[in-house]
Structure 1
Amino acid sequence: MRHLCSKPDGPPCLLVIDGVNFLWCRGTRLKDKTLHTKVTVDRLAIVHHLRRALKADWRHGACITSLNIRGAWPSDREKYTPGYLLGADGFKAMDPFIPVPVENYTPTELDACLRFYAENQWLTNPAAQTDHGRAQIAFLSANNPRELDRIVAECTSPVDSSRMNALRRLRDWLSATDVPLKPAFGGQASTVSEAYMTTHEPATGLPLVYFRQTTPKELDNIVSGAIQAQREWSCLAPLERSKVS
């Protein structure tokens, strides 16, 4: 590609890379079957080819890249700024770095995107294709492209709206509460709704939950019981708390 574009009469080329920070990620989830170790990004041929393509030594072309926090190693997701996600080597390789601001979707762009999802069967829930459903999606996503992608993924099939509302209420409470949470079996879950969750303090009363199997009534009971237990726990004196095993 670089060879063809570098010719005086070569064709123009536009290179677009999503999640370019992966090229400088500290590791991958691939495992070497011989050495029984994780494969580093430097051993991937695609990484070498893309790094070479990002060098500004060819003509008749341009590179447009985007960062994706999901392309970073799980422990390297504290910030979303370009310098942090790319690292020193990645940021240096991107020189000259020309930032391009990307605004949220306009109402026209959002409508076109939802039509595209529906035409390609990525938005299959009939309720999400009505005017009211689209208005809800626009409100929940705030016209943000990433949030829209996440919400559309949740609307790919008809679901029990009462269960969805109860699940969202429980998830919002878990996000807002001061009760420390951790995966019960030490696993790494991508979202709260996919994990078994428990608390560090048994006195809070928040039970073990598998969200995908609970009913709306059970979810409501969990929220009510957890809030009540947290209130009672906050009223206990430090000496009384120390007696709780």
Structure 2
Amino acid sequence: MGVCRTLVAIDGFNAFFYPHTRVFKEKKEVVPPNKVTLTEGFLNVTKFDWCNSVVVLTVDEIAIAEKDHISHLPRYLLGKEGFEHLDPFVPIAVPEYSPKELLSCMNYYRDRKWVQPIEGLDDEMSFVSGNNPYKLMNLCAPL
């Protein structure tokens, strides 16, 4: 027992604690996250009683409505219930892209045909986005 090492990664974990979802009942009523069956499984996976494992979560502003944006910090995005659910946890700051990471991301976008191979586009996107991954993604989305 305890021999197998496990990594669990969940993106946008704060969506499980936001009062609204994008799931609707037959009568177009919004279903709260605690009524979605999948939520219970994800909450059980993120309990702190694991052995030989790590759970990596991200909190994401996309999961909350635009009008509710007050802060981008995990404490706000998770809310009291979500923050207490993850206690104890170790927050990890994710720095901006390095020039090499930005180039790799832009090459990925070009490979998928999401952006055109335009001369000087990488430098322009680096400047406009400030090497921020989320801003870069949003800037490249309409291209």
> Distance in 2 between the 1:77 and 1:114 partners?
28
Q: Which residue number in structure 2 is paired with residue 25 of structure 1?
A: 18
CA contact (8 A) 2:110 2:117 kept: no
Total equivalences in the alignment? 143
> Distance in 2 between the 1:65 and 1:36 partners?
30
Change (3 A) 1:140 1:48: same
Unaligned runs of 5+ in 1: 1-6, 156-245
Establish whether residue 45 from structure 1 lines up as the match of residue 33 from structure 2.
Answer: no
> Distance in 2 between the 1:29 and 1:8 partners?
38
TM-score, length of structure 1 as denominator length: 0.55
Q: Higher relative contact order by CA 8 Å / sep ≥ 6: 1 or 2?
A: 2
Establish whether residue 145 from structure 1 lines up as the match of residue 133 from structure 2.
Answer: yes
- 1:49: Cα distance to partner? 0.7
RMSD: 1.5
> Distance in 1 between the 2:141 and 2:65 partners?
23
- 1:8: Cα distance to partner? 2.8
CA contact (8 A) 1:26 1:73 kept: no
Query: Percent identity among equivalent residues?
Result: 27
> Distance in 1 between the 2:22 and 2:108 partners?
32
CA contact (8 A) 2:15 2:21 kept: no
SS for the counterpart of 2:95 is coil
Runs of 4+ in 1 over 6 A off after TM superposition: none
Unaligned runs of 5+ in 2: none
Query: Which of 63, 75, 96 is the matching residue for 1:71?
Result: 63
> Distance in 2 between the 1:81 and 1:90 partners?
13
CA contact (8 A) 2:48 2:86 kept: no
- Listed as ranges, the matches of 1:25-174 within 5 Å are 25-33=18-26, 36-123=28-115, 125-127=116-118, 130=119, 132-155=120-143
Q: Which residue number in structure 2 is paired with residue 14 of structure 1?
A: 7
> Distance in 2 between the 1:74 and 1:147 partners?
16
